[in-house]
Amino acid sequence: MNRSWHSEAQLQQGNGATLDAWFAQSARTGFLHTKDNLQCAYATLVHSDPVDQIRPGIVISSGRVECYLKYIEVIYDLYHAGFNVFVMDHRGQGLSQRCSPNPMHGHVDDFQEYVDDLLQFVDDVVISTCPQPMLLCHSMGGAIGTIAVLQRPLLFQRLVLSAPMFGLKVPVPRWLAQMMMAIGLWVGRLSHRPMYFIGQKDYAPDVFANNRLMRSKLRYDRFRAVQQAYPKIQLGGVTYQWIRAANKALALIAEQAHHIELPVLCISAQSDQVVDNTIQQQVVGSIPNARWLSIDQAQHEVLFEQDHIRNEALDAIVAFLR
């Protein structure tokens, strides 16, 4: 594919402000009122075509800590590739309502809550414009999106997974992690409040040299600048309850992924330091109509990587969706 995607050179020249102005002018933003009375922020970018010209639509299910403000460059590229784009901040992060008294907590009691929100977003906001959208998921959003596809197999046309969270890298032996989980959940029940998993803490930005997410300093600095400009989107580590909910969701995916029938493309980051690529490849390998594409040198944030990595991913994604 010969399409020219937005580049680091353009960001270097100060084009980030132009992107932000385009988004502010072009996007329709709002809040989804979930069935359990939370508010989830969303943005839609729909081409003003004649009524009889239906463009393909992409729903983005982003990763943990992320928000639609981070995805402006990705949204810009997909929109100008001819797609309508729909994105919602998951509950508990971004501009959406928090799920814990501590707004820094990455917290949820059950991943089904994320799934229900995503499905409601598609039903209430997306389908009226795009009857059967495609789904683009990153990291935690990949786990959410995969469960959504399992529960509503006819809702989406195709599924793209960017560095999906199908297995987490655990820095300590599993028996020790399980013991810490049991103690943390017990203390949390006694105190009647969520608690950070051991070693997790409130938002504290890392310098680029210490980050494990991407090799593009320009895109890393851009996201950190957004977090400073919009303090509400800042998020810390995860709670014991989030870890328990994630483990339950990943077990469900490993057990049921082979039931997925729609076409799937998995973009795997070869140098991922966040998710377990071995488990990821096993899960994707169990899906009958799936392709697993590993991109050399890519770290976890494939869609925010250096141009040669990001361009390869976007080329593959758009070719697959078309």
Q: Is residue 1 part of a domain?
A: no
Measured between alpha carbons, how far is 285 from 304 in angstroms, rounded to an integer? 26
Does residue 256 contact residue 230 with C-beta atoms inside 8 Å?
no
Q: Is residue 249 part of a domain?
A: yes
Q: Is residue 2 part of a domain?
A: no
Mean pLDDT split into 10-residue runs, the chain, 322 residues: 84 96 98 98 91 82 98 98 97 97 96 98 96 97 98 98 90 64 69 84 94 97 96 96 94 98 98 96 97 97 98 98 92
Closest CA relative to residue 253, chosen from 284, 232, 294: 284
> Which pLDDT does position 136 carry in this prediction?
98
Strand segments, DSSP code E, in 53-195 are 57-61, 84-88, 134-138, 159-162
Q: Is residue 42 part of a domain?
A: yes
Q: Is residue 235 part of a domain?
A: yes
Question: Structurally, how many domains does the chain consist of?
Answer: 1
Q: Is residue 29 part of a domain?
A: yes
> Which pLDDT does position 124 carry in this prediction?
98
- CATH number, domain of 121, equals 3.40.50.1820
Residues 6+ away with beta carbon under 8 Å from 253: 143, 146, 147, 150, 166, 283
Range of the domain at 279: 8-321
> Which pLDDT does position 20 carry in this prediction?
97
> Which pLDDT does position 219 carry in this prediction?
98
Question: pTM (2 decimals)?
Answer: 0.94
> Which pLDDT does position 140 carry in this prediction?
98
Q: Is residue 158 part of a domain?
A: yes
Which contiguous run of DSSP H or E holds residue 280?
Answer: helix 277-285
> Which pLDDT does position 45 carry in this prediction?
97
Which contiguous run of DSSP H or E holds residue 75?
Answer: helix 72-80
